[in-house]
Amino acid sequence: MDFRNSEPPSGPRREDVLPQTASAAVKVVVVGGFGVGKTTLVGSVSEIRPLTTEETMTQAGVGVDDTAGVERKSSTTVAMDFGRISINDELVLYLFGTPGQQRFWFLWNGLFEGALGAVVLVDTRRLEVSFEVIDRLEERGVPFVVAVNSFPDAPQYPLEELRGALDLPETVPLVQCDARLRESSRDVLMTLMRHLYSLAVTPEAS
């Protein structure tokens, strides 16, 4: 499999129609705690102009949203992010980014309906916000991969050390990424596709 248009189009993105040969569409959900880069990942990899529901943070979130480590963040997703990427002429991924604050997690039920798999974004500065996200995916039985988003001021740890901290089984892929970069975000999605394929051909791997 190879992504079409590995470089993002210059200027405004054109709302291209799907390839006439496309025969399969897969829904993928991008999840994670508040401020881990979900909107950034969807926006960097989408071949269409992404739909976002970002709103300016207000006093209403004070004492409710945990902003530790992301104090300079001024906006937040309140419903979802949406993007699309063609894997090849036959396969298209529809990407749905979830809101990070727990007060919006009730929206997850609808966003996860029909999803084939998920990407969990992790910030090493705030690993603890990922624990409940991973627990919810495991409870739902949704296959997922974990991507460690590289922030400039974030501490770096070996992946195996992070696997232990997150209590991830060896069967769950764990990769590094930079959600700002299309190629890096693309590689995360390719890792998820390979994981889903391996589960399909060897179900006991799950």
Tens of pLDDT, residues 175-187: 999 999 999 999 9
Q: In this predicted structure, what is the pLDDT of residue 22?
A: 58
pTM to 2 decimals? 0.76
23-37 average pLDDT score: 89
Tokens 């992070």 identify what position? 162
Sign of CA dihedral 2, 157, 31, 181: negative
Residues 164, 89: Cα–Cα separation, whole Å: 38
Contact 170/146 with Cβ under 8 angstroms? no
Considering only residues 195 and 88, tell me which one the structure prediction assigns the higher pLDDT: 195
**Contacting residues for 18 by C-beta, under 8 A, at least 6 apart:** 86, 92
Task: Count Cβ atoms below 10 Å from residue 70 Cβ, excluding itself.
Answer: 20
Ramachandran sector of residue 165 (left: φ over 0; alpha: ψ -120 to 50; beta: rest) = alpha
Give 39's contacts (C-beta < 8 A, 6+ positions apart): 52, 54, 77, 81, 97
| Interacting residues of 81 by C-beta distance below 8 A, sequence separation 6+ | 30, 38, 39, 42, 43, 50, 51, 52, 53, 95, 96, 97
Helix (H, G, I), strand (E, B) or coil at 115: coil
What is the average pLDDT across 160-170? 96
- In the chain, where are the structural domains located? 24-205
- For 24-205, give the CATH class: alpha beta
- Token code pair at residue 39: 């909107």
